[in-house]
């Protein structure tokens, strides 16, 4: 769990927006080091800046002050090097593409040959358990299946960093737990570093190596809680007293924020 | 809260709708009346009290009174149904009006004349009759209803929105054959004003030269003089020439699209001259000379209208006053130009054009041909020529019966004069 | 097909609404720029290609036309006459707008209440717009006249014919636009169907209704001109267009000016509906 | 929703027949009812032919002059088609430019909206003066103007329709702007474009007929309608109007079929 060579190094990051009623400080002086292959959850109440932090890492928005280094590069360079796979709360699949072609989309943009694309997408769809649905259109799938396609699409080009913004937020509890298990299995087979934004305490505890608790107005880090539950984690993990203890700690921290 | 606010605003929507409705009514109800009465303020002054009541206070109108308001254009829908068709007039009222001698007060007879085209010099006689009080003197309240590019006066009259209409005889015959019982009561234009003109360089000196050319004509009733001239010269209008529908302006002709174009002497011909051309630049085919001229503007009404003796009287008075209007324009062309311009709601017309128009129109009426016993007289031979040509060239399938025109009204009009 | 007639009413994409004040400024600027560009292009094209007035009169002479006097120099100014004609057209259009608007709303309410009627009639509501109304305008005027309608009403009915369609479609969408859970909510209050209509469906439909009314406003002007032009009338823009076209060779600026007035009339009516929308639906209303 | 669609395809023939009957039955019944009432009403009340000919008479003329009417219909359709092609492609092209350079949009879109207020019928004589009132040119230009603005507005909206996340996704792949345009904006705009094409299809037929009102050869549908109505041949005029409606509907349906072929994923685009 030790952070030696951080993949992502965030220093004194500040982000302000010009709002209707003057400036809104979304993030104030946030510093965080994330190690290679680490699974980090960002948790906090609405408006604590957790999504903003993720978007800053992913080069989807620019910081007002402070710095981010991703593998020693700026986020923009990292993005150009295709280091990021992003999954949003909504699956954001392209209606006009079949499941297979949705998964192939990033490879297409990166100019991979057709055969390679087909191979990789088949592999990814197998990983998320959707091999039978290659030729289906997104609208023909359920919400959970669509989100699995989105995950397959995010992983298909083997990005080193996976940014997930409440990806299971819209799913029902059982599907959500199953997806969490699947996500851990997939993650185990890749070497990706995951930054996972969530509202759910059990979800954060179950998935993460460390849970970053954030507080609002202005957004800052309240606490970083290491999760020392053994891996691989499964249904039994959720019933472990230590799991409850960690969840309680996160809850306490959140309440104080 | 937002929803509440929207809901609270609903009365405003309703109010807005009401205001819109009110605005919609105001100009519309006043417009026909305003133009119809324009310039003849004395109309109102000479109106009998009873009539004023009937026309203004719709709510208190007794059923028997509806006939007094025959002017469909100024009426609200509910009233007009009973009012438009003069043939259905209440017997009680018939006696009153029939007894009314010309200019002897009493309720004025409201009638409408459907013109063939927009207000212009072509109809100067009717506008003059109205403006100069000739209709008033005959105890008539006449509305002149302007036409448009696609209005067919025959249909308006048959539909009951006007008692009298103005159109070319072949068109009347064609409509009559389609089962529309119309009858010509006066033939105002004794000569054809229609020409087929072309620039000299097209070398079109006679109808035979139209072969292979692009020839413009007004379709929908005014094409038959040309068709007859073509047929007379053994030219198949569907194969040997390219007939093109030309619309209310000479731009296609001046722009070089058409080899030849139809032009009325009083209107389109002037327009090409006004565009800066000289008469000597054109070849003109005159259907009068080609022997395919047909009778143009004539006054007609429905057979059913004339079934009532009282209506015959109205028609006779209408003709008498209209003829007086034409005579006035023959003698006072300059004044008639002013009258026409005053009635041009569009404000587009210029005095010189209308002067030309009235002068040319006068040539179509005067001097009266030898067969005519007076202005508006239908010469039987002229009728026969038009009917023959119309039949020969497919405007109508069989010869018109003798009810297509009547001289009776014309005789009534001239007898009392 | 229905959707996009409605879409025609919007012009500001949802995403850019956030930056409204900035956008509006740049928009005003862009519009002014474009007007200037058009004027410059117009006049320079005339100069460069030696376009005669018959093809393209000077902008100045078109505008000056409004200040000339009619009836051989002794009558009212042409601009005044044009106002008179515009008022006649507007009167018909307003009547048609109200008639068509009411009919459209009624149809939409009936269709919402009865799926059977919707399936039976809606295809013909859509199909009605396939009929070339200009071609049958004379028949409409004569037919309506036969039934006793005065001339202006026949023209208003033609305007209503073009107006009711977007209103029906827009209102239908609007009445169905209530958020999915709001209906069960109303049911939970044991609301009567008329309460549901007045408190939920109708307020929810207002934005859609106004979008449709904006289209209907311009359609009603077009409709009344279509009624006037082929059939003739005592007054109206359609009459001016026919007359001006007839005398185009001697005075081309008349026709251009008439088209200008017709367009302004449509724009003003459109603007009036936008204004009403702001007042009734509130400032969040889209343009 | 997805499940429902899957089921529709698996329905038994009988059930599909019932679904079809429910979908179109009321409309067909209305048509029959209207035709019967029209015919009976005209005969019962002795409505004059020049007011409203009975449907049987219109039908008879339609059969009698079918090939002729279709011939003149095709002449008019040719104008509509060319105007449609020019207007729609220009509209789509300007929409693309407007998305690329927003100042074009800011300057042009208010005019596009305002253009709805311009009565094209008032403009027609001017177009005739420029492009020839009796030739096909002016008709094509009028149809092009009529179809240009709806296509422009709809395509523009369609190109701007992708959700911000969809654009961010492209951004995260470091896609070039051409790539995001071709792979995201263009396909996302297709439903909007097809909606515009559907409106334009019917508008183009109407537009061609309206412009023929201002002059044209006898073999044009619009000229035929007005000329026949002018000499009291109402059944002929109505038969031609039926042909015009039929052409508009056929053109519309062609676009609907094209839409289904081009956008197999879009199964909800019916109206």
**What is the pLDDT tens value at each position of chain C, 287 positions in all?**
333 333 333 333 333 444 444 455 666 777 788 788 889 998 998 888 888 888 889 888 888 888 888 887 788 888 888 999 999 999 999 999 999 999 999 999 999 888 888 888 888 888 888 888 887 888 888 888 888 888 888 899 999 998 998 899 889 888 888 777 777 787 777 778 888 888 888 888 888 888 889 888 988 998 999 888 888 888 899 999 988 888 888 888 889 999 889 988 888 888 898 888 888 877 654 43
Q: What is the mean pLDDT of chain B?
A: 77
SS3 A34: strand
User: Do B216 and B253 form a contact (C-beta atoms < 8 A)?
Assistant: yes
Is the separation of the CB atoms in C223 and C93 below 8 Å? yes
pLDDT (0 to 100) of residue B93: 39
Distance CA A104, CA A120 (A): 8
pLDDT tens digit string along B85-128?
Answer: 333 333 333 333 333 444 456 788 999 999 998 889 999 999 99
What pLDDT sits at residue C202? 84
- What is the nearest CA distance from C229 to chain D, expressed in angstroms? 9
* Lookup result for tokens 């004395």: B42
- Cβ A14 vs Cβ A64: under 8 Å: yes
C230:B79 CB<8 A: no
**Which residue in C130, C221, C231 has the most chain D C-beta atoms within 10 A of its own C-beta, making it the best mutation to test that interface?**
C130
- The 3-state DSSP class for residue A32 equals strand
Interface of B with D in 191-220 (CB under 8 A): 214, 216, 219-220
Q: Please compute Rg for chain B using Cα positions.
A: 24
pLDDT per residue over A82-110, tens digit each?
888 888 888 888 888 889 989 988 888 88
Q: Which of B9-13, B132-136, B390-394 has the highest mean pLDDT?
A: B132-136
Give CA–CA dist A209/A229, Å, rounded: 8
Q: What share of chain C is helix, strand, coil (3-state, %, to 5)?
A: 80, 0, 20
Distance from CA of B249 to the nearest CA of D (A): 9
Residue C95 in tokens: 């009547």
Is the fold of B86-189+299-415 the same as that of B194-290?
yes
| Encoded tokens for D157 | 């909206």
| CA triple C51-C52-C53, angle to 5 deg | 120
SS3 of residue D227 by DSSP: helix
Is the Cβ of A60 closer than 8 Å to some Cβ of chain D?
yes
Query: Does residue A1 fall inside a structural domain?
Result: yes
- Interchain proximity C143–B13, CB inside 8 Å: no
Chain A residue whose CA is closest to D167? A92
Per the model's pLDDT, the better-predicted residue between D106 and B214 turns out to be B214
The helix/strand/coil state of A191 is coil
Q: What is the DSSP letter of B405?
A: B
Whether B199 contacts B269, CB under 8 Å: no
Pair B406, B181: CB distance under 8 Å: no
D9, with CB counted inside 10 A (0-12, 13-18, 19+), is: exposed
Full residue range of the structural domain in which residue A65 is found: 1-83+201-257
What homologous superfamily does CATH list for B86-189+299-415?
A: Periplasmic binding protein-like II (3.40.190.10)
| Identity of the residue in C142, C153, C254 whose CB atom sits nearest the CB atom of B348 | C254
Q: What is the mean pLDDT of residues D47-58?
A: 83
* Higher local confidence (pLDDT), B165 or C226: B165
* CATH classification of the domain holding A232: 3.40.50.300
d(CA B273, CA B253): 12
A167: exposed, middle or buried (Cβ count in 10 Å: 0-12, 13-18, 19+): buried
Q: D179 is written with which tokens?
A: 């790539």
CA C80/CA C63 separation, integer angstroms: 13
State the chains in contact with C (3 or more Cβ–Cβ pairs under 8 Å): B, D
Alpha helices in C176-280 (DSSP H): 182-188, 193-196, 202-231, 237-246, 252-280
Question: Is A214 contained in some domain?
Answer: yes
Of B180, B220, B242, the CB nearest to D227: B220
Closest CA to B162 of B286, B261, B72, B41: B72
Q: Which residues of D touch A95 (CB under 8 A)?
A: 265-266
Residue of chain D whose Cα is closest to the Cα of A99: D265
A219 reaches D (C-beta below 8 A) = no
What pLDDT is stored for residue B3 in this prediction?
42
Bridge partners, residue A214, by sequence: A221
CA dihedral sign, ordered B83, B87, B93, B97? positive
Residue B31 has pLDDT above 80, yes or no: no
Within a domain: A8: yes
Q: Report d(CA D58, CA A224) in Å as an integer.
A: 84
The pLDDT confidence band at residue A173, using thresholds 50, 70 and 90, is confident
**Minimum Cα–Cα distance from C84: chain B residue:** B345
Interface of D with A in 158-177 (CB under 8 A): 163, 165-166, 168-175
Q: How far apart are CA D112 and CA B182, in angstroms?
A: 49
Option in C78, C96, C250 nearest B274 (CB):
C250
Helix H or strand E segment including B164? strand B164-167
Q: What is the number of H-type helices and E-type strands within chain D?
A: 12, 1
Count of domains for chain A = 1
Q: Are D205 and D73 in contact (CB under 8 A)?
A: no
Query: How does residue B215 score in pLDDT terms, banded at 50, 70 and 90?
Result: very high
d(CA B169, CA C3): 51
Segments making up each domain of chain B, as ranges = 86-189+299-415, 194-290
For residue B96 the two structure tokens come to 């009153």
Write out pLDDT tens, residues A232-256: 888 888 888 888 888 898 888 888 7
Residue B212 Rama label (left phi>0; alpha psi -120 to 50; beta) = left
**CATH homologous superfamily for B194-290?**
Periplasmic binding protein-like II (3.40.190.10)
Contact, C176 vs C262, CB < 8 A?
no
How are strands ordered across the β-sheet holding B164-167?
Answer: B140-145, B109-114, B164-167, B298-302, B182-187
Chains with 3+ CB–CB pairs under 8 A to A are D
Phi, psi dihedrals of residue D270, rounded to the nearest 5°: -85, 150
In angstroms, rounded to a whole number, what is the distance separating the alpha carbons of residues B343 and B341? Answer: 5
Tokens of B321: 């006053």
> How close does chain D come to B242, measured CA to CA in Å?
7
Residues D50, B180: C-beta atoms closer than 8 Å = yes
Of C237, C230, C47, C41, the residue nearest C138 (C-alpha)? C230
Residues A222 and A253: beta-carbon distance below 8 Å: yes
Q: Which of B280, B38, D161, D262 is nearest to C4 (CA)?
A: D161
Residue A47 has pLDDT above 80, yes or no: no
Hey, how many other C-beta atoms are within 10 angstroms of the C-beta on D73? 23
Tokens of B185: 């009561």
Distances (CA, A) of B206 to B228, B283, B296, D95: 13, 9, 22, 55
Helix (H) or strand (E) holding A70: strand A65-70
Task: Give the strand pairing for B140-145 and B109-114.
Answer: parallel
Nearest alpha-carbon partner for A135 in A122, A150, A116, A117: A122
Q: What are phi and psi of D266, to 5 degrees?
A: -95, 95
Q: Which residues of C touch B32 (CB under 8 A)?
A: 150-152, 234
- Place B30 in a pLDDT band, splitting at 50, 70 and 90: very low
Beta-bridge partner residues of B215: B243, B260
Mean pLDDT in residue range D1-17: 58
CA end-to-end span of chain B: 79
A–D touching, 3+ CB–CB pairs within 8 Å: yes
In B, minimum Cα distance to C284 occurs at B2
Q: Which of C152, C232, C247 sits opposite B28 (nearest CB)?
A: C152
Per-domain boundaries in chain D: 1-47, 55-262
Cα A7 from Cα A3, distance rounded (Å)? 9
* Chains B+A touching (3+ CB pairs under 8 Å): no
Residues of D in contact with A140 (CB under 8 A): 2, 5-6
Closest to A225 (Cα-Cα) out of A211, A205, A207: A211
How much is the pTM?
0.81
C286 burial type by CB count under 10 A (0-12 exposed, 13-18 middle, 19+ buried): middle
User: What pLDDT, on the 0 to 100 scale, is given for residue D242?
Assistant: 92
Question: How wide is the angle at C-alpha B128 spanned by C-alphas B126 and B131, nearest 5°?
Answer: 110
Q: Tokens 């698996």: give the residue.
A: D10
For residue B360, which phi and psi values (nearest 5 degrees)?
-70, -40
pLDDT of residue C92: 93
CATH ID of D55-262, from 3.40.50.300, 3.10.450.630, 1.10.10.10, 1.10.3720.10: 1.10.3720.10
CB contact under 8 A, A96 and D190: yes
ipTM > 0.85 for the complex: no
Q: CB D173 to CB A106 under 8 A?
A: yes
Q: Is residue A51 part of a domain?
A: yes
Other C-beta atoms lying within 10 Å of the C-beta of residue C263: 19
Chain D interface includes C147 (CB < 8 A): no
Higher pLDDT, residue B381 or C11? B381
């Amino acid at each position: 769990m030790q952070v030696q060579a951080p993949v992502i190094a965030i220093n004194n990051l500040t982000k302000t927006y010009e709002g209707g009623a003057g400036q809104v400080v979304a993030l104030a002086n946030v510093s965080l080091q994330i190690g290679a292959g680490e699974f980090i959850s960002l948790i906090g109440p609405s408006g604590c800046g957790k999504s903003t932090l993720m978007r800053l890492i992913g080069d989807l928005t620019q910081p007002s002050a402070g710095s981010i280094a991703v593998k020693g590069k700026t986020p923009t360079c990292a993005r150009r090097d295709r280091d990021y796979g992003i999954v949003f709360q909504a699956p954001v699949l392209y209606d006009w593409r079949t499941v297979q072609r949705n998964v192939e989309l990033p490879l297409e943009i990166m100019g991979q040959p057709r055969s390679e694309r087909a191979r990789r997408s088949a592999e990814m769809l197998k990983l998320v358990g959707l091999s039978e649905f290659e030729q289906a259109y997104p609208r023909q799938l359920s919400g959970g299946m669509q989100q699995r396609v989105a995950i397959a699409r995010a992983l298909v080009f083997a990005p080193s960093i996976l940014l997930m913004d409440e990806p299971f937020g819209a799913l029902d509890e059982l599907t959500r737990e199953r997806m969490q298990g699947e996500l851990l299995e997939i993650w185990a087979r890749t070497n990706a570093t995951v930054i996972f934004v969530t509202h759910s305490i059990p979800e954060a505890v179950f998935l993460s190596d460390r849970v970053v608790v954030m507080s609002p107005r202005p957004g800052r880090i309240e606490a970083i809680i290491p999760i020392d539950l053994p891996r691989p984690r499964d249904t039994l993990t959720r019933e472990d007293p230590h799991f409850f203890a960690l969840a309680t700690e996160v809850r306490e921290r959140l309440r104080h924020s | 809260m937002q929803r509440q606010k929207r809901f609270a605003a609903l009365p405003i929507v309703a109010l807005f709708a009401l205001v819109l409705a009110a605005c919609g009514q105001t100009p519309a109800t006043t417009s026909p009346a305003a133009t119809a009465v324009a310039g003849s303020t004395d109309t109102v002054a000479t109106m009998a009290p009873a009539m004023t009541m009937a026309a203004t206070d719709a709510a208190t109108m007794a059923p028997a009174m509806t006939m007094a308001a025959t002017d469909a254009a100024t009426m609200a829908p509910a009233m007009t149904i009973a009012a438009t068709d003069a043939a259905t007039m209440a017997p009680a009222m018939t006696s009153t009006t029939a007894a009314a001698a010309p200019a002897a007060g009493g309720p004025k007879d409201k009638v409408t004349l459907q013109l063939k085209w927009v207000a212009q010099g072509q109809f100067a006689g009717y506008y003059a009759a109205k403006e100069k009080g000739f209709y008033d003197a005959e105890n008539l309240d006449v509305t002149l209803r302007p036409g448009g590019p696609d209005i067919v006066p025959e249909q308006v009259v048959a539909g009951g929105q006007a008692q009298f209409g103005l159109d070319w005889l072949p068109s009347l015959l064609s409509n009559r054959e389609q089962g529309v019982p119309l009858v010509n009561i006066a033939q105002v234009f004794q000569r054809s004003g229609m020409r087929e003109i072309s620039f000299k360089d097209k070398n079109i000196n006679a109808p035979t030269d139209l072969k292979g050319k692009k020839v413009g004509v007004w379709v929908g009733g005014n094409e038959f003089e040309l068709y007859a001239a073509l047929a007379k010269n053994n030219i198949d209008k569907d194969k040997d020439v390219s007939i093109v529908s030309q619309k209310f302006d000479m731009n296609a002709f001046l722009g070089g699209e058409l080899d030849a174009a139809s032009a009325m002497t009083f209107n389109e011909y002037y327009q090409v001259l006004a565009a800066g051309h000289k008469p000597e630049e054109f070849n003109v085919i005159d259907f009068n000379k080609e022997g395919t001229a047909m009778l143009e503007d004539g006054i007609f009404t429905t057979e059913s209208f004339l079934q009532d003796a009282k209506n015959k009287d109205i028609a006779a008075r209408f003709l008498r006053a209209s003829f007086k209007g034409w005579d006035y324009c023959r003698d006072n062309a300059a004044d008639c130009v002013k009258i026409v311009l005053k009635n041009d709601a569009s404000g587009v017309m210029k005095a010189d054009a209308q002067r030309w128009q009235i002068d040319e129109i006068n040539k179509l009426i005067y001097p009266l041909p030898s067969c005519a016993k007076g202005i508006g007289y239908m010469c039987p031979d002229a009728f026969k020529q038009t009917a023959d040509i119309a039949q020969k060239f497919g405007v109508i399938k069989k010869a018109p019966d003798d009810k297509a025109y009547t001289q009776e009204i014309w005789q009534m009009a001239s007898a009392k004069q | 097909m229905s959707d996009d007639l409605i879409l025609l009413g919007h012009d500001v994409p949802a995403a850019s609404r956030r930056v409204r004040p900035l956008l509006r400024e740049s928009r005003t600027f862009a519009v002014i720029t474009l007007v200037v560009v058009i004027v410059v292009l117009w006049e320079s094209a005339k100069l460069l290609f030696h376009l005669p007035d018959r093809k393209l009169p000077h902008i100045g002479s078109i505008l000056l036309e409004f200040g000339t006097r009619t009836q051989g120099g002794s009558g009212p100014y042409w601009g005044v006459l044009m106002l008179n004609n515009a008022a006649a057209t507007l009167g018909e259009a307003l009547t048609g707008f109200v008639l068509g608007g009411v009919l459209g709303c009624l149809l939409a309410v009936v269709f919402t209440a009865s799926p059977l009627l919707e399936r039976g009639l809606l295809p013909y509501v859509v199909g009605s717009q396939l009929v070339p109304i200009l071609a049958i305008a004379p028949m409409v005027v004569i037919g309506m006249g036969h039934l006793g309608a005065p001339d202006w009403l026949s023209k208003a009915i033609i305007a209503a014919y073009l107006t009711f369609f977007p209103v029906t479609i827009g209102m239908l969408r609007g009445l169905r636009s209530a958020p999915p859970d709001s209906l069960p909510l109303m049911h939970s209050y044991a609301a009567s169907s008329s309460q549901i209509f007045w408190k939920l469906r109708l307020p929810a439909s207002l934005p859609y209704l106004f979008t449709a009314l904006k289209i209907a406003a311009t359609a009603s002007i077009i409709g009344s001109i279509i009624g006037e032009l082929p059939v003739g009338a005592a007054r109206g823009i359609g009459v001016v267009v026919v007359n001006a076209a007839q005398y185009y060779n001697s005075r081309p600026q008349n026709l251009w000016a008439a088209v200008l007035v017709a367009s302004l009339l449509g724009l003003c009516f459109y603007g009036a509906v936008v204004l009403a929308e702001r007042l009734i639906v509130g400032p969040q209303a889209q343009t | 929703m997805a499940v429902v669609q899957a089921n529709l395809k698996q329905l038994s023939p009988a059930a599909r027949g019932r679904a079809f009957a429910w979908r179109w039955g009321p409309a067909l019944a209305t048509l029959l009812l209207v035709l019967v009432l029209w015919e009976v009403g005209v005969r019962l009340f002795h409505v004059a032919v020049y007011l409203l000919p009975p449907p049987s008479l219109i039908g008879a003329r339609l059969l009698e002059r079918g090939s002729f009417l279709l011939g003149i219909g095709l002449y008019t359709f040719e104008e509509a088609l060319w105007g449609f092609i020019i207007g729609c492609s220009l509209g789509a092209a300007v929409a693309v430019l407007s998305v690329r350079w927003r100042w074009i949009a800011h300057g042009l879109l208010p005019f596009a909206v305002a253009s709805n207020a311009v009565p094209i019928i008032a403009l027609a004589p001017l177009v005739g003066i420029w492009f020839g009132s009796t030739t096909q040119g002016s008709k094509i230009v009028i149809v092009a103007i009529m179809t240009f603005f709806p296509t422009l507005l709809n395509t523009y909206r369609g190109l701007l329709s992708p959700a911000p996340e969809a654009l961010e996704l492209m951004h995260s792949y470091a896609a070039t702007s051409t790539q995001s345009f071709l792979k995201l904006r263009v396909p996302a705009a297709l439903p909007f474009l097809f909606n515009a094409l559907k409106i334009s299809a019917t508008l183009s037929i109407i537009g061609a007929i309206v412009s023929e009102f201002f002059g044209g050869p006898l073999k044009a549908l619009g000229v035929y309608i007005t000329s026949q109505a002018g000499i009291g041949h109402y059944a002929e005029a109505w038969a031609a109007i039926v042909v015009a409606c039929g052409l508009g509907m056929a053109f519309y349906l062609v676009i609907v079929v094209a839409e289904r072929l081009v956008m197999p994923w879009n199964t909800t685009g019916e109206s």
